[in-house]
Amino acid sequence: MSGRLRNKTALVTGSTSNIGQAIAEAFAAEGAHVIVSGRNRERGTQVVEGIRASGGRADFLPADLDGGAEASRDLAARARQTLGGRIDILVNNAGVYPAPGTATTDEKTFDQVYAVNVKAPFFLTAAVAPGMAQAGGGVIVNLGSWIARLGVPLGALYSSTKGAMETLTRAWAAEFGPQGVRVNAVSPGVILPPAPEGGEPHPGEVMMKGTPAGGVGTPDAVAHAAVWLASDEAAFVHGTVVDVDGGRTGVAVIAA
């Protein structure tokens, strides 16, 4: 790695597994001191131990971002203290993905998905962005999704929350950009960890047939994009959603 995030501090929510873990590991490999955050203390500790074993800097902070403003403010305060007083980079990655049909979605599920996927990052950003501005600048990277712009069956609830995050990305870029805080998003396509040799095909693979990539992506693909957006290489990038989806949303898919 090239040390593109050397001497930076970062908070990555939902980073005890999958995409969030890959982002935390990539940030640490580029020199950042990373806060790994999530509900599962055992997995979080394992991620931190792996980063440290590779020579990186990381700490784990447990957090259940249930949408309550106080939970978001508490995580921001603990992260800032652990990182020596400042958060240079925030990645709003934590999310949940129940996918019932619209007619079978109950109010409790609706409220939970919006609380975790929209309300929690809203108040976490509110708690972090002003401090970034006061310190001279910072970067916020949100996680969107390809199904925010390309509808799929049973995806109404989740995709609407990701559409909200992509809209907030543009709104926050307008609000905080003049204060030195860049806000962008990554929109992953079908992302799966590397399958074990001889493993059964995942249902998501069907959605990637006929795309330019021809198959699913791995968490590392999203992490590479997040590193670029967080680095000075993207200093002139504001309010943008970067599609990391193998061409799924931008190119006509030819059915096989």
Tokens encoding 167: 């809209």
DSSP string of 231-245, one letter each residue: SGGGTT--S-EEEES
Q: How far apart are CA 245 and CA 221, in angstroms?
A: 9
Chain position carrying tokens 């020596």: 84
- Which residue among 60, 122, 158, 172 is the active-site one? 158
The three-state DSSP-derived secondary structure of 98-151 is CCCCHHHCCHHHHHHHHHHHHHHHHHHHHHHHHHHHHHCCEEEEEECCHHHCCC
How many helices (H) and strands (E) the chain has is answered by 7, 7
Whether 114 sits among the annotated catalytic residues: the reply is no
Positions annotated as catalytic residues are: 158
